[in-house]
Amino acid sequence: MNTIIYIGNFELPDKNAAAHRVINNGKIFREIGYNVVYIGIDKNLNGNIDVLSTEKKYYGFTCYSIPYPKNKKQWFQYLFNLEYFMCIYKLYKKDVSYVICYNYPAILIWKILEISKKNNFKVIADCTEWYDGNSKGIIFKMIKGLDSFFRMRITHKKLDGLILISNYLMNYYSNYKKVLIPPLVDIKDEKWQILPADLPKDKINLVYTGSPGANKDKLDLIIKALGKYNLDNINLYIIGITKDECLSLYIELSDCDIILKNVYFLGRKSHLECISYLKAADYTFILRNKNIVTEAGFPTKFVEATTLGIPVIATGVGEVKYYKDLTELIILPNNHDMDDILTMLHSLEKKCRVSYKLNNIFDYSTKKQNLIEFVRKNEN
């Protein structure tokens, strides 16, 4: 019995942060003797499909996909129907040691837990977030809120172990079997050797990658500062959203002329392109308010920037503050205002890199022993 089924809302091979996390966790499990099988999501699949027909190989792992829910009926099935999991589980039934549920619906985790009691495998949660109830649509908000409540406060506490992404979650689950695993990378992956994007050598280049959201990264503050105070020596490159999407998130920016000047909206890019732009950056930034979402999570963009040796401008919330002595961080006060932003921007200096030595703080090999010890505790 040495198979792990890893299931959740990750889009393999590299289409969301979840995919990077579970693949690098899987590399550790593989190195200590486990066969890892993934069941993720695919936004290109429609309706009811034969999940066995979706089999692909990524990084040497066997991977299956289920359709990402696009309507109320599909969301209901995603939250309550275990059919896709059972199809895969039956293939490996005799060899399954663990099922790892990545931010998985509470009801389905409970169902898998009941199956585990009859079939002698263990159930672990890989928990990387705490939903705060800010979704659009009252029905969806209610369903997500209830699911999050039962998953975080009840279901997780019934499981055989927890893989947690943050100290906040480690403290919350202090009385349970757990291990702290931040987002990881594989510095041997050839993607880190990509050439940097061709950005102006006479400008300070800020690069932002991600999906900000009105209640997440405060992208608008940087744009306002650049627009209002004519900081012509700084270019801002925004990857992940278009100009129109940005204006819909931050309505107050609609009269900010700088959007047409030295702020460049590049829309969605592949992960490889994101790394290329990030590699050419002088700085990146993560400006977030302190709340349960930012405290419980861990920004993958911080991990990628740190791996590339790119300085990060950040508020001291969540996990970032624990790394201030290990990487180049510019910490802003949590209650920062426009004066703080301007002072920071005026202090920036052009970085003239001649080499790109990778930082291995978050390489998956650094957490191998942690997972080994976690697994040994579960075997007892």
Highest CATH level, class, for 190-347 = alpha beta
Among the listed residues 166, 164, 189, the one whose alpha carbon sits nearest the alpha carbon of residue 365: 189
pLDDT in tens, 170-228: 999 999 999 999 999 999 999 999 999 999 999 999 999 988 765 568 888 898 888 77
pTM of the model: 0.94
Task: Assign 334 a pLDDT band (cuts: 50, 70, 90).
Answer: confident
254 burial (CB, 10 Å; 0-12 / 13-18 / 19+) is exposed
pLDDT in tens, 72-112: 778 888 888 899 999 999 999 999 999 999 999 999 999 99
Task: Assign 379 a pLDDT band (cuts: 50, 70, 90).
Answer: confident
Task: Assign 136 a pLDDT band (cuts: 50, 70, 90).
Answer: low
Domain ranges of the chain: 3-184+364-379, 190-347
Residue 214 confidence (pLDDT): 53
Task: Assign 249 a pLDDT band (cuts: 50, 70, 90).
Answer: confident
Per the CATH hierarchy, to which homologous superfamily does domain 3-184+364-379 belong?
Answer: Glycogen Phosphorylase B; (3.40.50.2000)
Cβ(368)–Cβ(28) below 8 Å: yes
AA identity, residue 7: I
Tokens of 3: 């198979």
* 3-184+364-379 and 190-347 share one fold: yes
Residue 62 confidence (pLDDT): 98
* Residue of 25 and 326 predicted with greater confidence: 25
CA–chain centroid gap for 123, Å, is 22
Task: Assign 357 a pLDDT band (cuts: 50, 70, 90).
Answer: confident
